[in-house]
Amino acid sequence: MTDKPIIHILGAGALGSLWATKLSKDNRIVLLLKKIDEKRSHQFRFIDKNQTTTITLPCECSTPTPQDSRPIDTLLVFTKSYDTLNAVQQLRNRLTPSSRIVLFQNGMGSQQEITQLLPGNPIYAASTTEGANRPDSQTVVYAGKGETWVGSISNQNNSSESEKVLSLLSGSGLSVSYNSAIWEKLWLKLAINCAINPFTALLNCKNGELVGQPLFDANITPLCHELERVMKVNNINKNADELEALVKEVIEKTANNVSSMLQDVRAGKQTEIEYINGYIELVAKNCDDTFPTNLVLLKRVRSSCKPHINTGT
Ligand code: KPL
Per-residue CA distances from 299 to 19, 115, 207, 306 (Å) = 34, 28, 21, 12
**Which fold would CATH assign to domain 184-304?**
N-(1-d-carboxylethyl)-l-norvaline Dehydrogenase; domain 2 (1.10.1040)
Crossing angle, helix 277-286 and helix 214-233, to 10 degrees? 40
Helix (H, G, I), strand (E, B) or coil at 59: strand
Tell me the per-residue pLDDT of 3-52, one tens digit each, with 9 for 90 and over.
899 999 999 999 999 999 999 999 999 999 999 988 999 999 999 998 99
Q: Is the CB of 128 under 6 A from ligand 1?
A: no
Q: Is the CB of 271 under 6 A from ligand 1?
A: no
CA angle 309-262-192, nearest 5°? 170
- How is 64-133 classified by DSSP, letter by letter? --SSS-SPEEEEEE-S-HHHHHHHHHTTGGGEEEEEEEEE--SSSSHHHHHHHH-TTS-EEEEEE--EEE
Output the CA 262–ligand 1 centroid distance in Å: 10
Helix (H, G, I), strand (E, B) or coil at 276: coil
Question: Model pTM greater than 0.75?
Answer: yes
Output the CA 236–ligand 1 centroid distance in Å: 21
Q: Is the CB of 260 under 6 A from ligand 1?
A: yes
Q: Mean pLDDT, to the nearest integer, of 205-218?
A: 98
Domain(s) labelled CATH 1.10.1040.10 in the chain stretch across: 184-304
Q: How confident is the model at residue 312 (pLDDT cuts 50, 70, 90)?
A: very low
Q: Is the CB of 192 under 6 A from ligand 1?
A: yes
Length, in residues, of the chain = 313
Tell me how far apart the alpha carbons of residues 140 and 178 are, in angstroms, rounded to a whole number. 27
Please tell me the predicted confidence (pLDDT) of residue 306: 67
Which ligand 1 atom is nearest residue 257's CA? 10
- Cβ 161 vs Cβ 98: under 8 Å: no
What one-character DSSP code corresponds to residue 138? T
Tell me how far apart the alpha carbons of residues 113 and 116 are, in angstroms, rounded to a whole number. 5
Helix (H, G, I), strand (E, B) or coil at 295: helix
Which residue's CA is the nearest one to ligand 1's atom 10? Answer: 259
Please tell me the predicted confidence (pLDDT) of residue 111: 98
Query: Which residues have CB under 8 Å from 9's CB, separation 6+?
Result: 16, 19, 20, 23, 29, 30, 31, 32, 75, 76, 78
Please tell me the predicted confidence (pLDDT) of residue 2: 60
Strand partners, 162: none
Please tell me the predicted confidence (pLDDT) of residue 311: 47
Tell me the per-residue pLDDT of 149-202, one tens digit each, with 9 for 90 and over.
999 999 877 899 999 999 999 999 999 999 999 999 999 999 999 999 999 999
Which residue's CA is the nearest one to ligand 1's atom 4? Answer: 259
Spatial CA neighbour of 145 closest among 188, 176, 108: 176
Domain(s) labelled CATH 3.40.50.720 in the chain stretch across: 6-180
CATH number of 6-180: 3.40.50.720
